[in-house]
Amino acid sequence: MINYDYIMVRFGELSTKGKNKIDFIKTLGNNIKNALKDFNNVGIDIRRDHIYVQLNGEDYLPILTRLQDVSGIHALSLVYKCSKEIDDVKASALELIKQEKGKTFKVKVKRSDKQYSIHSEEMTRIIAGHILRNTDNLTVDVHNPDILLSVDMRQEACYIFSSTYEGAGGYPLGVGGKSMHMLSGGIDSPVAAYLLMKRGVMVECIHFASPPYTQQGVIYKLEDLLHKLNRYQPRIRLHIIPFTKIQEAIYDNVDESYCITLMRRMMFRLADRLAHRRKCPVISTGESVGQVASQTLASMNVINAVTNMPVIRPCATMDKLDIIKISEKIDTYEISIRPYEDCCTIFTPLAPKTMPHLDEVIEFEKKFDYESLIQEALNNVEVKFISEDDEEIL
Ligand code: ATP
Ligand code: MG
């Protein structure tokens, strides 16, 4: 087995220009450093077009696996470093290609060191010839090879790489700003948070708790969910809003079929206020069109009317099964399906409105002083930080 020296990180979608690109690369470099902080020996070398993770003897596999979760990385390649002696290059190229699966290959030589005595085309012939002579079932295919063996002759050494692994894609976390994310204990909202993170957006979470109707177990559940998401965002702020009084006021004053609509309008009012306070320019949710009564387009319209902020709904058009697939991938599914009562499930009326009328909603809202209840809830927010480093909650 060959011991790889580096993992080369490629940016892909990040190929923007100018100052943005510099900021992106800096942010990505920091995110990578943070993701690999438990690997004491690795070094990170940030260049204009790539980031090199120097393995310094560490096993590549756990590092590669960790890097595959870092957003903003398009692809990852394992790199072997050898001397520029032609015999050394030939032998290394052969060793590397023997570890690959495939029937056809292509050698691609880049001569970054313009002083190097052998030209690229000749190098390509020498290396490919050596591989053909010393393997049994490999042939050259220059158009669509199974294995692309890249050889980069630089000033200081020769770098060879073949295996390329897919990265998470998207943008580096942090370049997209921050969203106030409504987190329930369900399946959808953690998935929505993950999709935002992948897009470079950090989240702060807001949760509406209605004790004693909802239990402390829900909060543990949220903490466990956020611990899973810490893999994508190492530190997450969770705001827990006391929602009981608002919910009771609604049920005392509002026709049953309108309770969910009003409750959700109150949630969005609170999210809007907190988002302003926390300097988040948008709100986000795990809503999915048509899933339940409050998620018909007509309901969304009436509910959304309480805020001017954009509301991002990453799961909006996804099928439940596809949302579940993602939740399994990010390991939140098993936590999400734990049976705990949510404030939405507790007061669920038998026949919630799927076509609420805004004028009726406004009439109901005149019947109680929700503004002071909202103020009171905001004055009593409980804040928790969920981070990778506090293991005891796990
Ligand atoms: P989820 O699986 O995310 O719970 P859901 O399909 O159960 O979603 P709803 O319960 O109608 O749908 O909630 C829709 C969205 O509203 C959730 O994805 C979440 O963003 C937000 N939400 C619902 N309940 C709460 C809550 N108690 N606290 C914070 N946000 C909530
Ligand atoms: Mg729910």
pLDDT higher at 14 or 76:
76
* Strand arrangement of the beta sheet that strand 43-46 belongs to: 43-46, 50-54, 6-10, 73-82, 158-169, 147-153, 104-111, 139-140
Mean pLDDT over residues 182-204, rounded?
Answer: 97
pLDDT higher at 371 or 291:
371
Q: Is the pLDDT of residue 188 over 50?
A: yes
Mean pLDDT over residues 309-317, rounded?
Answer: 97
The pLDDT of residue 394: 40
* Cα 354 to middle of ligand 1, angstroms: 16
Q: Is the pLDDT of residue 324 over 80?
A: yes
Mean pLDDT over residues 281-300, rounded?
Answer: 89
Whose C-alpha lies nearest to ligand 1, atom 31?
184
* Cα 336 to middle of ligand 1, angstroms: 11
The pLDDT of residue 354: 84
Mean pLDDT over residues 46-52, rounded?
Answer: 87
* Cα 294 to middle of ligand 1, angstroms: 10
Ion ligand 2 contact residues with beta carbon within 5 A: 184, 186
240-269: pLDDT as tens digits: 999 999 999 999 999 999 999 999 999 999
Closest CA to 286 of 318, 255, 257, 310: 318
- Best substitution site from 179, 182, 236 to test ligand 1's pocket, by max atoms within 8 Å of Cβ? 182
* Cα 207 to middle of ligand 1, angstroms: 9
Contact (CB, 8 A) for 285 and 313 = yes
Give the model's confidence band at 55: pLDDT under 50 very low, under 70 low, under 90 confident, else very high: very high
Mean pLDDT over residues 298-321, rounded?
Answer: 96
Mean pLDDT over residues 198-215, rounded?
Answer: 94
* Cα 287 to middle of ligand 2, angstroms: 9
pLDDT higher at 272 or 356:
272
Ligand positioned closest to the Cα atom of 183: 1
Taking the CA atoms of 226, 229, 234 and 240 in sequence, report the sign of the dihedral they define.
Answer: negative
Relative to the CA of 241, which ligand 1 atom is closest?
A: 28
Considering only 95-104, 146-155, 193-202, 342-351, which range has the smallest mean pLDDT?
Answer: 342-351
Whose C-alpha lies nearest to ligand 1, atom 13?
287
Relative to the CA of 243, which ligand 1 atom is closest?
A: 27
Give φ, ψ of 387 to 5 degrees: -135, 160
379-390: pLDDT as tens digits: 999 999 999 876
Determine what percent of the chain falls in helix, strand and coil, rounding each to the nearest 5.
40, 20, 35
- Report how far apart, in Å, the C-alpha atoms of 44 and of each of 29, 225, 317 are: 8, 30, 39
Mean pLDDT over residues 148-166, rounded?
Answer: 91
Q: Is the pLDDT of residue 392 over 60?
A: no
* Cα 226 to middle of ligand 2, angstroms: 16
- Number of Cβ within a 10 Å radius of residue 98: 12
Q: Is the pLDDT of residue 393 over 80?
A: no
Closest CA to 193 of 209, 207, 180: 180
Relative to the CA of 285, which ligand 1 atom is closest?
A: 20
The Cα 31–Cα 52 span in angstroms is 14
- Best substitution site from 204, 344, 381 to test ligand 1's pocket, by max atoms within 8 Å of Cβ? 344
Relative to the CA of 288, which ligand 1 atom is closest?
A: 6
The Cα 124–Cα 132 span in angstroms is 12
The pLDDT of residue 349: 67
Contact (CB, 8 A) for 374 and 266 = yes
Q: Parallel, antiparallel, or unpaired: how do β-strands 158-169 and 73-82 relate?
A: antiparallel
Ligand positioned closest to the Cα atom of 191: 1
The pLDDT of residue 312: 98
Give the model's confidence band at 13: pLDDT under 50 very low, under 70 low, under 90 confident, else very high: low
Instruction: Give the pair of three-digit tokens for residue 354.
Output: 């799927």
* Cα 263 to middle of ligand 1, angstroms: 12
Share of the chain above pLDDT 70, in %: 94
pLDDT higher at 55 or 12:
55
80-92: pLDDT as tens digits: 999 999 999 999 9
Q: Is the pLDDT of residue 343 over 70?
A: no
Taking the CA atoms of 300, 285, 23 and 7 in sequence, report the sign of the dihedral they define.
Answer: negative
N- to C-terminal Cα separation, the chain: 37
- Best substitution site from 179, 180, 188 to test ligand 1's pocket, by max atoms within 8 Å of Cβ? 188
Instruction: Give the pair of three-digit tokens for residue 115.
Output: 């002083």
Mean pLDDT over residues 339-344, rounded?
Answer: 67
Give φ, ψ of 298 to 5 degrees: -65, -40
Angle at 350 between CA 346 and CA 353, to 5 degrees: 100
Ligand positioned closest to the Cα atom of 288: 1
What residues does ligand 1 touch, defined as CB less than 6 Å away? 182-184, 186-189, 206-208, 285-287, 291-292, 294, 342-344
pLDDT higher at 229 or 24:
229
Relative to the CA of 286, which ligand 1 atom is closest?
A: 18
Mean pLDDT over residues 16-39, rounded?
Answer: 89
Give the model's confidence band at 271: pLDDT under 50 very low, under 70 low, under 90 confident, else very high: very high
The pLDDT of residue 21: 85
Q: Per-residue DSSP letters for 109-139? A: EEE-STT-SS-HHHHHHHHHHHHHHH-SS-E
Amino acid identity of residue 323, one-letter, is I
Whose C-alpha lies nearest to ligand 1, atom 26?
184
The pLDDT of residue 3: 85
Whose C-alpha lies nearest to ligand 1, atom 7?
186
Residue in the block written with tokens 């009439």: 363
Mean pLDDT over residues 98-113, rounded?
Answer: 92
Amino acid identity of residue 31, one-letter, is N
Q: What is the pTM of this model?
A: 0.89
Mean pLDDT over residues 285-309, rounded?
Answer: 90
Give φ, ψ of 146 to 5 degrees: -70, -40
* Cα 182 to middle of ligand 1, angstroms: 7
Residue in the block written with tokens 């692809």: 75
Mean model confidence pLDDT for the chain: 92
Mean pLDDT over residues 63-72, rounded?
Answer: 96
Ligand positioned closest to the Cα atom of 285: 1
The pLDDT of residue 216: 86
